Amino acid sequence: MNPSTEIENGLPLDMIIFGGMGDLAMRKLLPALYMAFLHGNLPATTRIVSTGRQDFDREAYLAHVEENSRSFITQSAFNDKTWDGFLKLLEYVRLDVQAAPDFGGLAQVSRPGAQRVFYLSTAPALFTIICDKLAAAGLVDGNARVVLEKPLGHDLPSAIEINEAVGKHFAESQIYRIDHYLGKETVQNLMVLRFGNSILEPLWRAPNISSVQITVAEELGVGSRAGFYDGTGAMRDMLQNHLLQLLCIVAMEPPTSLNADAVRDEKLKVLRSLRRFTLADIARDTVRGQYTHGVSGNQEVEGYLEERNVPEDSKTETFVALRTYIDTWRWSKVPFYLRTGKRMQRRSSKIVVEFANPPFPLFPDAPGGVANRLVIELQPEEAIKLQIMAKQPGSGMQMQQVTLNLDLQSAFQQRRAEAYERLLIDVVRGRLTHFMRRDELEAAWAWADPIINGWTTLGEKPHPYPAGSWGPAESFALLARDGHAWVE
């Protein structure tokens, strides 16, 4: 274990998790905090206070963590001594957020004058009551920070309501709206690639870039989340947040500094420049899909409508693809194709930047298709590849596509932290750059709402696609009519 470092303000750290018994806490938050502890990124003064309604004492909570969280730590990173040290940081407070007196119990455990980080890993319907009661219990001071998990609303009015409620007690600079895609090494690296080099920037615009694709494909179905998912759908669950955030990083102008607001100002400009969809645009440029029975990972799987807790006549989309434009000088007429879905052929998230083909075909035997692509792979592995044309060895001038692989794994032998670990450390250190600001979130909803409402107005039913495929045929047609194709 590395020596622990203090946080900049020198205060002891109280990390207080609401929903501390929940799935996210067990699978992601506690393992991420363990990794941060292992690598000396938590101050020695850290205390992690989990809250939940179960009438547990500390020992029972630790047993629950042993049973439900430990297995989510990479085996090679696990060691008993560090784990024991980590468990010593943990406290449990029984707390029902509806009960004001329970917050008195929390106030007794949290140290006066500590740097408090409240992680709200509960349904967003509880955010208002949690913030109100924290403030009433005197737990919110000028140093406190609050982390908000998605979903941050289901439309613009509900997002505003959450922002208003949290903003009553926390200044914007104290609010960390998490989107774990922004914590991925490769996404952060895309900013360095774009703004730390000069070779890409002159090309990074129309007409040199002919299109951009962003895909977030999941192999899994809705599983146990069906109850929640059916009222949400792929547009709200994935596209409005994760895919738009990726689009912002691809499309933003160079910020004036790395200051959080300078970066977020540029992302906001992108969101505000996204072309608004008319009903005709929605009918032509969006595709909704819903998976049916099929084969996924060599196993027969049920269709969405057969999943438990899904109404048999549900019209919720488990897939969405769309074409959009950013109305700025840089991106004029460049289509951005976004696609996300469940039960796709495999788990794969990537950004594909396609460059314009050479204006004149000098080499008669050139293979068809796109000559140059920058492919940024985010899942399952993180990688950056540039596809270029090269001459095949031998006589003649035959061309072939080859891939320049930016081998970051070999270039940097260091461990690459998981997104949640990196973002939690950012919260502890007070770094807001990779978190969404209120106006960004609201601009994203302002763009997404008319599309979602338009589907209702048009009475659009999702197109069926077999589980284990890449989505409905209409999604391929969306690109084909522009002479493009999805890169799998």
Q: Report residue 412 as tokens.
A: 């940097």
User: Interaction with ligand NAP in 68-97: which residues (CB under 6 A)?
Assistant: 95-97
Q: How many residues bind ligand NAP (CB under 6 A)?
A: 21
Asked if 224 interacts with ligand NAP (CB under 6 A), we say no
Calpha distance 65→20 (Å, rounded): 10
Site string for ligand NAP, 103-142 (x = CB under 6 A): ------------------xxxx-x----------------
Peptide bond before 466: cis, by omega within 30 degrees of 0?
no
Cβ proximity to ligand NAP: between 148 and 287 the closer is 148
Q: What is the DSSP string of 397-457?
A: --EEEEEEEE-HHHH--S----HHHHHHHHHHHT--TTSB-HHHHHHHHHHHHHHHHHHHH
Among 11, 24, 206, 383, the residue binding ligand NAP under the rule CB under 6 A is 24
Calpha distance 422→419 (Å, rounded): 5
Q: Where are the alpha helices (DSSP H) in 203-310?
A: 226-229, 233-234, 244-251, 260-273, 279-285
Cβ proximity to ligand NAP: between 82 and 379 the closer is 379
Q: Which residues pair with 404 in a beta bridge?
A: 386
Number of C-beta neighbours around residue 482 at 10 A:
12
Q: Which residues contact 317 (CB under 8 A, 6 or more apart)?
A: 233, 234, 235, 288, 289, 290, 462
Q: What is the closest distance, in whole angstroms, from the C-beta atom of residue 161 to ligand NAP in the complex?
A: 15
Cβ atoms 420, 176 nearer than 8 A = no
What one-letter code names the amino acid at 246? L
Q: What is the closest distance, in whole angstroms, from the C-beta atom of residue 146 to ligand NAP in the complex?
A: 14
- Whose CA is closest to 412, among 431, 370, 384? 384
Q: What is the closest distance, in whole angstroms, from the C-beta atom of residue 271 to ligand NAP in the complex?
A: 21
Cβ proximity to ligand NAP: between 44 and 220 the closer is 220
User: Interaction with ligand NAP in 270-309: which residues (CB under 6 A)?
Assistant: none
13-18: strand order across its sheet:
90-94, 47-52, 13-18, 115-120, 145-148, 175-177
Q: What is the closest distance, in whole angstroms, from the C-beta atom of residue 237 to ligand NAP in the complex?
A: 9
User: Interaction with ligand NAP in 2-21: which residues (CB under 6 A)?
Assistant: 19, 21
Cβ proximity to ligand NAP: between 216 and 353 the closer is 216
Asked if 54 interacts with ligand NAP (CB under 6 A), we say yes
Q: What is the closest distance, in whole angstroms, from the C-beta atom of residue 39 to ligand NAP in the complex?
A: 23
Q: Which residues contact 180 (CB under 8 A, 6 or more apart)?
A: 419, 420, 423
Cβ proximity to ligand NAP: between 22 and 294 the closer is 22
User: Interaction with ligand NAP in 29-48: which residues (CB under 6 A)?
Assistant: none
Q: Which residues contact 196 (CB under 8 A, 6 or more apart)?
A: none
Cβ proximity to ligand NAP: between 145 and 150 the closer is 150
Number of residue whose CB is nearest ligand NAP:
22
Look at the block and give the residue holding tokens 């072309």: 275
Q: Strand 90-94 and strand 175-177: pairing?
A: unpaired
Asked if 172 interacts with ligand NAP (CB under 6 A), we say no
Among 14, 91, 149, 442, the residue binding ligand NAP under the rule CB under 6 A is 149
Q: What is the closest distance, in whole angstroms, from the C-beta atom of residue 102 to ligand NAP in the complex?
A: 8
Stretch that binds ligand NAP, among 73-81, 146-154, 243-251, 479-487 (CB under 6 A): 146-154
Asked if 182 interacts with ligand NAP (CB under 6 A), we say no
Residue 116 backbone phi and psi in degrees, to 5: -95, 130
Q: Strand 319-324 and strand 47-52: pairing?
A: unpaired
Residue 78 backbone phi and psi in degrees, to 5: -90, 130
Q: What is the closest distance, in whole angstroms, from the C-beta atom of residue 230 to ligand NAP in the complex?
A: 14
Phi-psi region of 45 (alpha: psi -120 to 50; beta: other; left: phi over 0): alpha
Asked if 52 interacts with ligand NAP (CB under 6 A), we say yes
User: Alpha-carbon torsion 152, 153, 159, 161, what sign?
Assistant: negative
- The residue from 242, 434, 463, 484 that is catalytic is 242
Calpha distance 55→214 (Å, rounded): 45
Max alpha carbon distance in the chain (Å)? 84
- DSSP, res 253: P
Q: What is the closest distance, in whole angstroms, from the C-beta atom of residue 388 to ligand NAP in the complex?
A: 37
Among 53, 284, 391, 429, the residue binding ligand NAP under the rule CB under 6 A is 53
Q: What is the closest distance, in whole angstroms, from the C-beta atom of residue 150 to ligand NAP in the complex?
A: 5
**463 assigned to active site:** no
Cβ proximity to ligand NAP: between 42 and 152 the closer is 152
Cβ proximity to ligand NAP: between 27 and 315 the closer is 27
Site string for ligand NAP, 424-463 (x = CB under 6 A): ----------------------------------------
Stretch that binds ligand NAP, among 49-57, 188-196, 391-399, 476-484 (CB under 6 A): 49-57
Q: What is the closest distance, in whole angstroms, from the C-beta atom of residue 69 to ligand NAP in the complex?
A: 12
Instruction: Write out the catalytic residue numbers.
Output: 242
Residues that bind ligand NAP (CB under 6 A): 19, 21-25, 52-54, 95-98, 121-124, 126, 149-151
